[in-house]
A and B are shown apart, each in its own frame.
Chain A
């Protein structure tokens, strides 16, 4: 994604403080939400937070390495199925299912990524679409494992210690915790030297190669990491809905994740958060029908392509910059 440059002047020095401050406020608001919001709105927030994880993955692969992948839905679904199967056949605890989902998604991403990443951009996109279809076909036809269209149901509720998570507010805190941890992991990744390499690969792959960066290796690792993030999200989804079916591989999910990242702002840390709460929580809360939702997504995509290639994040960033400058003028 070509990122245009819109800060002609140096960022104000208080910016990091303002950013972390805003984040802390938002987190506090979320933590207190169950006290004020009914289950219906909490559900919308939960769905937003679940989708946040595969969105981080897509942000990683698209925003930080520059590859457009439509396959996040595949790894989301893989994570969901992995967790469901483990829980149903072995009764494994929630945390094990969570990590297993991430691990399986990353492992499967490896043999898929190796041939796919050799392709040029256009072919790569089509290839990822092909992966989605394979996943749908396997899920429907490998009935011994997945019970086909009937799906897997009756997942046991997650247990943390002695507490069985079955009420929505309980789910809310559990998923909030996982989402926050994932967010921190994402930030750590972006701030690491590897994150710098990823931005370099996005900006100019040949230049990065010429400076000694093994770009193909990084792209593969990023592909696997983004799959892991998506797998985590899928695991949460499975534990929350307690039902997993081939419908989880529908393009609807991949499209939603795409909108979250693009609408929120690709290549920026708060991008996925903004996108997730705006496009998922709001549409969920307004009880907009899936078809209308997709039509809205379609128009949003067109708006993004032709008018706001950077999504909403620049607006938010200008807001925080303005806040940071406020203090200095006073």
Chain B
């Protein structure tokens, strides 16, 4: 890890209550640019809440979120995604059900290519060229994800695994700098797991995309990550290489099973 460089994502003292129940109680963590970082912890330790606060889905009750050196605490979700180029996937896989795969992907990449809301209303040459470029990229991603056979079906008709692949491809379309994945391997068969892991690894190596991944499949996660952060009861419990985490007695007791 390059300790001298500014971390791409820094969370300081983040707090969040849900009606009296403290979900995050002062979390401090950093994610370095270009790394694959795992985030583990028992249910209720605040992992998804952390994602929600970082991406603007929820407003935190205290603390700061700093993205690429800019304080984004309190920013709207769409602004974080568009300007911050930070995307996140959802635990329960969501796609746009009435649009086909290609349209889903074109949409995902749209806001990154168009300079503003007004420009999206144009059907002039510049606009059509941008969309054509998006379509080409979308087709490549569909090919790579193995979704060519179902490319023209409405996404709502796809199987759970296919939707997950589509969701993942959507994350890559707008060429983000950092992607937060919420349990990307949940509920899919082993072959697909392999494919998703390969996608993450190649996206990380080829495009330098930083990943922060919540996963309960700890074996896979340890192999995949450069570093693992452990959350417990709304606070950071440990932050180290996978090898060290697995041997950490506190972590083992709290989460990995003594």
Contact = CB atoms under 8 A, between A and B. Distances in A.
Contacts of A327: none
Interface in A200-228: 200, 202-204, 206-215, 217-218, 221
Nearest to B88: A210
A197 B82 CA distance: 14
Given A209-B77, A211-B107, A212-B78, A197 B152 contact: no
Contacts of A192: 120-123, 127
Interface in A140-194: 188-189, 191-194
B235 to A, nearest CB: 26
Contacts of A203: 96-99
B96 A10 contact: no
Interface stretch (A1-9, A23-31, A110-118): A1-9
Contacts of B157: 5, 8
**Binding site of A, secondary structure by majority: helix, strand, loop or mixed?**
helix
B121 A210 contact: no
B51 to A, nearest CB: 10
Contacts of B121: 189, 192-194, 221
B237 interface: no
A208 to B, nearest CB: 8
A7 B154 contact: yes
Interface residues of A, number: 32
A318 interface: no
Contact of B81 (A191, A193, A197, A211): A211
Contact of B57 (A196, A197, A210): A210
Interface stretch (B2-10, B26-34, B109-117, B238-246): B109-117
Contacts of B106: 196
A191 B123 contact: yes
Given A192-B121, A192-B127, A207-B96, A214 B57 contact: no
Interface string B231-256: 00000000000000000000000000
Given A193-B114, A193-B131, A196-B106, A207 B154 contact: no
Nearest to B114: A193
Nearest to A187: B123
B156 interface: yes
A188 B123 contact: yes
B229 interface: no
B220 interface: no
A269 interface: no
B70 to A, nearest CB: 16
B215 to A, nearest CB: 19
A18 interface: no
Interface in B190-240: none
A211 B120 contact: no
B110 A196 contact: yes
Given A11-B152, A200-B99, A214 B78 contact: yes
A199 interface: yes
A212 B111 contact: yes
Contact of B112 (A3, A5, A207, A212): A212
B96 A5 contact: no
B111 A211 contact: yes
Interface in B115-160: 117, 120-123, 127, 130-131, 152-154, 156-157
Interface string B164-175: 000000100010
A221 B82 CA distance: 19
A211 B170 contact: yes
Contact of A210 (B81, B97, B154): B81
A193 B94 contact: no
A199 B99 contact: yes
A211 B108 contact: yes
Ordered nearest first, which 9 A-B pairs have the shortest CB separation?
A212-B82, A212-B111, A212-B81, A194-B120, A193-B120, A203-B96, A10-B152, A209-B77, A194-B121
14 contacts: A3-B98, A8-B157, A192-B120, A194-B121, A203-B98, A204-B97, A208-B96, A209-B78, A210-B88, A211-B81, A211-B87, A212-B81, A214-B78, A221-B121
Given A192-B127, A193-B131, 9 more contacts: A7-B154, A10-B153, A193-B121, A196-B103, A196-B106, A199-B98, A208-B78, A211-B108, A214-B117
Interface of A: 3, 5, 7-8, 10-11, 188-189, 191-194, 196-197, 199-200, 202-204, 206-215, 217-218, 221
Interface of B: 55, 57, 76-79, 81-82, 87-88, 90, 94-99, 103, 106-108, 110-112, 114, 117, 120-123, 127, 130-131, 152-154, 156-157, 170, 174
